[in-house]
Structure 1
Amino acid sequence: MTKETWLHDLRRFLADDHVKMDEPLHLHTLTRMGGPADIFVAPTTEDETAYTVKYAYENNIPLLLLGNGSNMVVRDGGVRGIVLNLKSLHTIRIEGTTVYAQGGANIKEVSKAAASNRLTGLEFACGIPGSIGGAMAMNAGAYGGEIKDVIRKATVLTKEGNKLELSKEDLELGYRKSIITKKGYYVLSAEFELEFGNQLVIDAKMSDLTMQRETKQPLEFPSAGSVFKRPPGNFAGKLIQESGLQGKGFGGAEVSTKHAGFIVNKNNATANDYIKTIEMVKSAVREKFGIDLELEVKIVGEDMA
């Protein structure tokens, strides 16, 4: 089967403008890098999502889930197969202390919605740039909070396109891992259980965390966020800074001078520039400290031919 066939088949169920061929992925990643997707699908319903996943499985077509494009580096040659983007599945609903959000909703917006309804528990997520699906898959966390602290349950699609409801225990949430990544599930929605709090206290905490993020993180440049996982008993940014790597890199990519845990696209960097900078950092930290940094970002796709 060719990508033209995939395009034709998928457009039988989805609107034409929701299925594109050779879509540039730099338009959909926070790094502003990445080559084209053979087929780019942006469903607007859960049924369309399930249809796409099932179609890919039954026809043995590679399928990559791209959320808000954070925490991911797409190589310059792009991605073969189908790229599934769930940004249009962004419904947020609040009933009492329960917050419901679809997988494509931005977790920052979910955090803000909870806060505006006097709910406490999701303040830590007010600066996380990813989608609910990505946050669930990685058990995203910041400033002492994690998804596992507030999650109630999630609805996912299996690789075969079947719906499955998972409890908090079923999700097997750990440091930057979950059953979602282990099994290759696709998150359709999640429910969080929060508590009512003091509005002034909630607002103050949100403001403080937002200020910390804006002060300490290089938000003025495109990036994939924190590049490396936290090594046991240490911090990746600290090790990188002490290795003297800030301001260094390849091409248009460099280790941020504001926060060493970030690699930024400072001047029209290619994915190759970014990946070479990652390898430079890993090599330098290994040589100086004997520590192998583990990637938090996911590198996908193919190099340029």
Structure 2
Amino acid sequence: MQLLKEKLEALQVGKILINEPLKKHTTWKIGGPASIFIEPSSVEALQIAIEEIKKQEIPWFVIGRGSNLLVSDEGITGVVIKLGEDLAKFQQKDDRIKVGAGYSLIKLSTMMSKKGYSGLEFASGIPGSVGGAVFMNAGAHGSDISNILIKAHVLFSDGTFKWLENKEMDFSYRTSRLQSDEAICVEAEFQLKEGDKKEITAEMQKNKDYRRDTQPWNYPCCGSVFRNPLPHHAGKLIEEAGLKGYSIGGAQISEMHANFIVNKGDATANDVLELIQFAKNTIYNKFGVKMETEVELVGKR
């Protein structure tokens, strides 16, 4: 690892840290250290870093703003690459925008609504980055990323980059091709619509108010933990099973929204994993419904 660190520093690919605690970089405030942690200074620097990491045959993993992510207490062996502020470039040409993966989805939706462009109202309360939103086909309020994406600039696990059109992304509910291909979006182009600024901002505010009133953002959390097992809703099933407020260690099923697990201050990844498994078992035993996580589980176990 030391050799890789020295080589990456010589290549000037961006910020490089050793044994960086990943709880600093996840919205759950949970996660052990990364052997090497990199924040690339550009897409070009990211490509150079990947080439060197692959040359040394060291495993790597990419994160954005750290929502929808549970990192193990033991951390991640290898390299963790964070697509941060240096990969948050923004360009606009009329109703089309090109955005870096590190851009905040909430910030983007707010900015475009103020400019009078519609299409991102659904994203006003989603706490992730553009890259993560494309990866998960993030959505809410009856819409999702697949409705506005033109194409995505994608980094594949073999280190190659390619632009993929919307039809090549295999979008479905909270799913994209990037998950099965273990690939990550580094840039995205979106198609918006010019509209009435007052109507757009009113819709944005309604969505924000709904999230504030129904979801527990007063504690660290990752967003929704389980996919909705359609036609059922995960939160409703968990609530009907009487699990609201149920705790293991420092992790608790939110008393406000049952599809959220909150960190009450000292939760470990193992606490969360045990709580997830307990909820899965309870729902299956009571209702015969299999629950699948929406959150991504990574790291040593």
TM-score computed with the length of structure 1 as normaliser: 0.96
Which one of 99, 102, 108 corresponds to residue 101 of structure 1? 99
- Name the SS of the counterpart of 1:127 in structure 2: coil
Give identity over the alignment, percent.
36
Confirm or deny that 1:20 pairs with 2:20: no
1:121-164 deviation per Cα after TM superposition (whole angstroms, max 9, x unaligned)? 11000111111111101111001111010111111122233221
The answer to whether residue 151 in structure 2 is matched with residue 153 in structure 1 is yes
Alpha-carbon separation, structure 2, partners of 1:295 and 1:60: 30
Specify every segment of 5 or more residues in structure 2 that has no aligned partner in the other structure, as ranges: none
Counterpart position of 2:275:
277
Q: Deviations over 1:259-280 (max 9, x none)?
A: 0000000121111111111111
Cα distance in 2 for residues equivalent to 1:243 and 1:101: 42
Shift of 1:93: 2.1
State which of 121, 124, 137 in structure 2 corresponds to 1:139. 137
1:112 is matched with which residue: 101, 110, 114? 110
1:266 to 246, 264, 267: 264
Of 62, 80, 96 in structure 2, the residue corresponding to residue 65 of structure 1 is 62
Q: Give the 3-state SS of the residue equivalent to 2:20 in structure 1.
A: strand
Partner of residue 39 from structure 1, selected from 13, 36, 39: 36
The within-5 A match list for 1:66-81 is: 66-81=63-78
Assess if the C-alpha contact under 8 Å between 1:218 and 1:256 holds in 2. yes
Residue number in structure 1 paired with 2:208: 210
Task: State which drifts further: 256-265 or 94-103.
Answer: 94-103
In structure 1, what is the equivalent of residue 290 of structure 2? 292
- Alignment: residue pair count: 300
- Does the residue aligned with 1:169 lie in a helix, a strand or coil? helix
What RMSD in Å do the two structures reach over aligned CA positions? Answer: 1.1
Runs of 4 or more, structure 1, over 4 Å off, are none
* Alpha-carbon distance between aligned partners in 1 of 2:260 and 2:273, rounded to the nearest angstrom: 13
SS of 2:73's equivalent in the other structure is: coil
Q: 2:159 and 2:12 mapped to 1: Cα distance?
A: 16
Is 1:28–1:68's contact at 8 Å kept on the other side of the alignment?
yes
The answer (yes or no) to whether the contact 1:54–1:160 under 8 Å persists in 2 is: no
TM-score by length of 2: 0.97
Give the whole-Å Cα distance in 1 for the aligned partners of 2:288 and 2:56: 45
* Paired letter, 2:84: K
